[in-house]
A and B are shown apart, each in its own frame.
Chain A
Amino acid sequence: MILTKTKKAAPSQEIITVKGSMLETAMAQMDIACDQLGINDGTRAILRQAERELTVSVPVRLDDGSIEVFKGYRVQHSSARGPCKGGIRFHLATDIDEVRALALLMTLKCAVVNLPLGGAKGGVKVDPRDLSDGELERMTRRYAAMILPLLGGKRDIPAPDMNTGEQTMAWLMDTISMLTGDIVPEVTTGKPISLGGSQGRAEATGRGVAIATGEILNRLGRDTKDATVAIQGFGNVGQHAARILSNEFGCNIVAISDVSGASYNAEGLNVREAIEYVSRHPDNLLEGYGDHAEVEKITNDDLLTIEVDVLIPAAIEDQITLQNAERIQAQVIVEGANGPTTFEADKILTANGIHIVPDILANSGGVIVSYFEWVQDLQSFFWEADEVNQQLNRKMANAFNEVWEVSKIGEISLREAAYRLGVERVAHAVTIRGIFP
C-alpha cells in the first residue's frame, strides 16, 4: 500500500450545509417581539434592513511577489442607539449574508443589556493561516483602510471575532491612527492592555455568566450557596464561570466537561484543582482528570441530563436538541455559548418549566467589558480590575432584572422577554429620532 497526499478536490461533490438555526431563532424571536409590541410596518422594515453595507476588495502583495485580492465586508445594522459595535472575523465562510445577520444580532445584544451602542459586523473571506504573518498584517491594514470611511470612535468600533485577536486590533488601531493623523485607541476594542485595552477582559464573559446564574437563582428564591451546577465546556468561559461561581457565589460545581469527556462528583468537584490540571495538560483538556475514586467519568450527553440545579452550556451551538431536551433535569439553563439550544428544544424546555437565561443576555459580559474599554479609551482614564468587575456586576444585574420583569409582566419566557426588550429599545430609538430629512 502506498499512502499519498492530494490537493485535488473530489469530483463534483456538493457539500450541503443548513445555515444557522441560531439565526433563524433570532429572526423568529424578533418577528414575535415586533408582533407583540405592535411595531408598525415602517419601523419593522427599518429593523429588518442594515443601515449601511460596504463590500471592499482587499488586494495584498504576497511574500512571493504575486498579488491576491480578498473580499471584505463591513455592515452597520443600526446606529439608532449609538455608534455601531461589532467584531471582525477572518474566515473562508464569511459572506455578506452572514455578516448582515451577525450585525443584526449585535444590535439586539447591545440593546438588551442597555449599552448606548448599535450593531455592526465585518469580515474578510480568507483562511488567515494560509497567509504568512507579514501577509496577514498587510491584509489587515489594507482592509482597515478600505473600510475607514465607516470607522471611528463615534461611528463604528470593531472588536475581535473568529480568527482575529489583540494583534489584529492593534494593527487596525495603528492603521486608522496613521491615516487620520490622530491617535485613536477608541476606534477598536479588544486591544492589548498596553494600547488601551481593559482589565478584566479575559474573564468578562465567564463572569457575566456567573452573575446571570446568581441573579436567576436569587429570583427563584434559591440560595446560590450549594446550588449544584454542571458546566459543558471548560475553556475560557467555562473555567472562569466555574471559578467565580465556586469562589464568589458558593455554588457546588458537580460536573464539568470538554471534548475529551466529562467528570462528575455528586459531592462537588475541586474547581481549582481541575483548572490547574487543565493548564498542565498538554492539550489543555480534562482528559485523565479525576482518575481517582470520588470522580466519575461520564459522557458529554450524560452531563447535559444529570440532575442539577443549573446547567451551563458553554461550548458550541446546537447542544440541547430534540434528542435530549426531554431528558434535561436542570431547573435552570444559563447559555454561556451562543445558540446552544435549538428552537425546537427551547419549546420543550419551556413547556417543562425550565428557566433559560438566553445567550443574548447570559454571555453579554464580553461586549459589556468591550463597552467599558471604549469608555476608558474616550476618557484616557483606566480602571483597576476591581472597578471593571463591579461595573460589570451592576450592568449585568440591571439587564437581568429588566428582562426578568418583562418576562413576568408579559408572562413570557426570558428569551422572548430579552428579544422584546431589545427590539423595543431599538424601535423606540428609531421612532424618537425620526426619519432624516
Chain B
Amino acid sequence: MTDTMTKTTLEMKNIELSKSPVDDLAQIILRDAIEMARKKINPIYWGREITSLIRDRIFFDYLRHGIARGVAEGLAANDKAVIGVFSYETSDNPYNESGDEYSPDLTVHLLVLVKKPTEGLKALIASLDRAITAQMVALSSPKYAQIESTLDISLITQDEVKRRSGLAALLSSVHAPPMKVWPIAG
C-alpha cells in the first residue's frame, strides 16, 4: 500500500468514532469503498483529498459502486434470506443514443431479492442507511452536507420477479437491466 492509500485510512479515522455494530459496518463499507475507488482511478490523482476526489465523476461512480457492493455484502452476511442484490439507475431512457449525462445522484439504488422480507432486514437497512449517511456527512464535502439518506433499497421476492410486479420487473428488463452486485461469480 502506498502512502497515499494509507492516507485514506487516516482520513477515515477522523470520522466520528463508531457507536454500534451497524456504525462499525458502515465505517468498513465506506472505508473499503473509498480505497477501492482510489485504486480504480488514474494513479496521478491518488494524492488528492477526498473532498476533491468526490467531485470527480470517475471517482464518484466507483465510490457509489463500492458502497453498493459493501452494503450488499453486509446485508447478505447478516440475513440468510438474501438471495441476490442488484444495483440499478433511475435515469430515464439509457437507450437514447445520446450518451450518458453525468448524474451526481449519490443515492445507491438496490434491489434485494429475498426469500421473504423480514422486519429484521428492514430494520438493518434503515440503520445502515442512517449510519452510512452520517459517515458521508462527516466527510465534510459540501456535496454531502445536507444529505438525509444514502440508500434506496427495495426488497423483492422471486414471486414478484415472476409476476413482473413493481420494481421486481426491472430484473426482466432488456433495455436497462440492473447489475448484479452480490453474489459475484467466482
B90–A259 touching, CB < 8 Å: yes
Interface residue tally for chain B (C-beta within 8 Å): 69
Q: Is there a chain A Cβ closer than 8 Å to B110's Cβ? A: no
A314–B73 touching, CB < 8 Å: no
**CB-defined contacts of B161 to chain A, threshold 8 Å:** 15-18
Q: Is there a chain B Cβ closer than 8 Å to A433's Cβ? A: no
Q: Which of B58-103 contact A (CB under 8 A)?
A: 58, 61-62, 65, 70, 73-74, 76-78, 80, 82-84, 90-101, 103
Q: Is there a chain B Cβ closer than 8 Å to A220's Cβ? A: no
**CB-defined contacts of B73 to chain A, threshold 8 Å:** 5-7
Q: Mark B132-156, 1 if CB is under 8 A from A, else 0.
A: 0000000000011111000010000
Q: Given the known inter-chain contacts A15-B83, A133-B40, A314-B92, please indicate yes or no for A20 contacting B146, CB distance below 8 A.
A: no
Q: Mark A203-236, 1 if CB is under 8 A from B, else 0.
A: 0110000000000000000000000000001011
Q: Is there a chain A Cβ closer than 8 Å to B170's Cβ? A: yes
Q: Mark B143-184, 1 if CB is under 8 A from A, else 0.
A: 111110000100000100110110001111111110110111
Which of A18, A205, A285 is B162 in contact with, Cβ under 8 Å? A18
Of A49-57, A124-132, A263-271, A395-403, the segment with at least 4 beta carbons within 8 Å of chain B is: A124-132
A282–B147 touching, CB < 8 Å: yes
B174–A337 touching, CB < 8 Å: no
Q: Given the known inter-chain contacts A3-B21, A201-B98, A259-B152, please indicate yes or no for A235 contacting B78, CB distance below 8 A.
A: no
Q: Is there a chain B Cβ closer than 8 Å to A160's Cβ? A: yes
A5–B96 touching, CB < 8 Å: no
By beta carbon, the residue of chain A nearest B144 is: A282
Which of A87, A164, A258 is B90 in contact with, Cβ under 8 Å? A258
**CB-defined contacts of A63 to chain B, threshold 8 Å:** 39
Q: How far is the CB of B22 from chain A (nearest CB, A)?
A: 6
A236–B91 touching, CB < 8 Å: yes
**CB-defined contacts of B174 to chain A, threshold 8 Å:** 19-20, 22-23, 98, 101-102, 317, 339
Q: How far is the CB of B33 from chain A (nearest CB, A)?
A: 11
**CB-defined contacts of A284 to chain B, threshold 8 Å:** 103-105
B77–A6 touching, CB < 8 Å: yes
Q: Which of B97-140 contact A (CB under 8 A)?
A: 97-101, 103-107, 109, 113
Q: Is there a chain B Cβ closer than 8 Å to A304's Cβ? A: no
Q: Is there a chain A Cβ closer than 8 Å to B50's Cβ? A: no
**CB-defined contacts of A101 to chain B, threshold 8 Å:** 174
**CB-defined contacts of A127 to chain B, threshold 8 Å:** 179
By beta carbon, the residue of chain A nearest B101 is: A236
Q: Mark B19-50, 1 if CB is under 8 A from A, else 0.
A: 00110110011001000000111100000000
B164–A18 touching, CB < 8 Å: yes
**CB-defined contacts of A205 to chain B, threshold 8 Å:** 93, 96, 98
By beta carbon, the residue of chain B nearest A368 is: B97
A21–B24 touching, CB < 8 Å: no
A22 to B113, CA, bound (A): 22
Q: Which of A320-366 contact B (CB under 8 A)?
A: 321, 323, 336-339, 342, 363, 365-366
Which of B22, B76, B99, B145 is A165 in contact with, Cβ under 8 Å? B99
Q: Which of A1-18 contact B (CB under 8 A)?
A: 1-10, 13, 15-18
Which of A132, A236, A237, A258 is B39 in contact with, Cβ under 8 Å? A132
Q: Is there a chain B Cβ closer than 8 Å to A389's Cβ? A: no
Q: Given the known inter-chain contacts A98-B174, A369-B98, please indicate yes or no for A235 contacting B39, CB distance below 8 A.
A: no
B40–A283 touching, CB < 8 Å: no
A257 to B181, CA, bound (A): 27
Q: Given the known inter-chain contacts A21-B164, A87-B95, A284-B104, please indicate yes or no for A13 contacting B173, CB distance below 8 A.
A: no
Q: How far is the CB of A190 from chain B (nearest CB, A)?
A: 4
Q: Given the known inter-chain contacts A258-B90, A283-B105, A285-B107, please indicate yes or no for A6 contacting B98, CB distance below 8 A.
A: no
**CB-defined contacts of A23 to chain B, threshold 8 Å:** 174
Which of B84, B146, B164, B177 is A282 in contact with, Cβ under 8 Å? B146
Interface residues of chain B, those whose CB is within 8 Å of chain A, are: 21-22, 24-25, 28-29, 32, 39-42, 58, 61-62, 65, 70, 73-74, 76-78, 80, 82-84, 90-101, 103-107, 109, 113, 143-147, 152, 158, 161-162, 164-165, 169-177, 179-180, 182-184
Give me the 9 closest cross-chain CB pairs, A-B, nearest first. A9-B183, A366-B96, A6-B77, A129-B65, A5-B73, A165-B100, A190-B99, A20-B174, A318-B169
Interface residues of chain A, those whose CB is within 8 Å of chain B, are: 1-10, 13, 15-23, 63, 87, 91-93, 98, 101-102, 127, 129, 131-134, 159-162, 164-166, 169, 189-190, 197, 201-202, 204-205, 233, 235-238, 258-259, 282-285, 314-318, 321, 323, 336-339, 342, 363, 365-367, 369-370
